[in-house]
Amino acid sequence: MTGAGLAGYEAAAVAAGAWWCRLRVPLDDPGEAVAAVARATRDAGMPLTVALRGGRGDVSAFLLRAPDLLPAERVDQCRRMAEALAAETGWRRLGPDRPDQPVAPLGLSRFVAFDGGLRGCSADDAARRLFAVRAPGMRARPAWLVVLSAAGCMARREPGVLAMPSGLEQAAEAAAALGLQRWCVLDPAADEHVVFSRSRTDATASSAASRSNTAK
């Protein structure tokens, strides 16, 4: 199920397999973890999304595919890349390579950057406060989200959350409340990684409303 039409979103890309990889990284600086993963993506020639939490010698790294960046690799290729990364770094892999419920990495950079009330907050505090207000009742873990290209270059880096919704409907409602134009979710029930994008009709209406509010 790709959930077309959910809260004004339509499925824009679908990759078979709800793959992820969780790693325990004994580093103080999450940036060092990103550099190591970037080398792995470059060697494998595959784009990747990395969600990072923690620090001071205890960083958790969550590896997910980036299905809106081509090529979207097969799950077996992802597993080989993760195995090579763990072997090279000595990082410990945690748990199965598929979540037991939907997981959606949702970026919050537009709020952290422009909401003056959040100045002085850490990225984690800002994420918790924003998400509690705009998506109450949903479990979420603050994280830095980094998207790496197949060449190992950083395509995007922003504060956000790893949201754990009860289903695609709740994930779509949270994305809409956050004003996201594009987002993705691991859907273990369908064994898919789905990218959702605003439908053209909904995006046009949102743009018109934004221009109207600006004019006021």
pLDDT, tens digit, 9 for 90 and up, residues 83-117: 999 999 999 999 999 999 999 999 887 665 444 44
* Cα radius of gyration (the chain): 17
Say if 214 falls within a structural domain.
Answer: no
pLDDT classification of 139: cutoffs 50, 70, 90:
confident
Q: Name the pTM for this structure.
A: 0.82
pLDDT classification of 215: cutoffs 50, 70, 90:
very low
pLDDT value, residue 12: 92
pLDDT value, residue 118: 43
pLDDT value, residue 216: 44
Average pLDDT for the chain = 82
pLDDT, tens digit, 9 for 90 and up, residues 148-186: 998 999 998 888 889 999 999 999 998 898 888 999 999
Give 120 or 198, the one with higher predicted confidence.
198
Least confident of 60-64, 129-133, 152-156: 129-133
Are 50 and 63 within 8 A, CB to CB? yes
Range of the domain at 44: 19-164
Say if 207 falls within a structural domain.
Answer: no
Question: What is the rounded distance in angstroms from the CA atom of residue 160 to the CA atom of residue 142?
Answer: 6
Say if 124 falls within a structural domain.
Answer: yes
Are 60 and 53 within 8 A, CB to CB? yes
Residue 173 has φ and ψ, to the nearest 5°, of -65, -40
Say if 199 falls within a structural domain.
Answer: no
* CATH number of the structural domain spanning residue 108: 3.30.2130
Say if 77 falls within a structural domain.
Answer: yes
Residue 72: pLDDT above 50? yes
Question: Can you say whether the dihedral through the CA atoms of 133, 178, 190, 18 is positive or negative?
Answer: negative
What ranges in the chain are assigned the alpha helix state H?
Answer: 30-44, 75-89, 109-114, 123-134, 168-177, 200-215
> What proportion of the chain, given as a percentage, has pLDDT over 70?
81
pLDDT, tens digit, 9 for 90 and up, residues 28-40: 788 889 999 999 9
Say if 2 falls within a structural domain.
Answer: no
Tell me which residue has tokens 């990082």: 91
pLDDT value, residue 112: 52
Q: Quick one: tokens of 93?
A: 């892999």
pLDDT classification of 209: cutoffs 50, 70, 90:
very low
Say if 120 falls within a structural domain.
Answer: yes
Domain count, the chain: 1
Say if 64 falls within a structural domain.
Answer: yes
pLDDT value, residue 188: 96
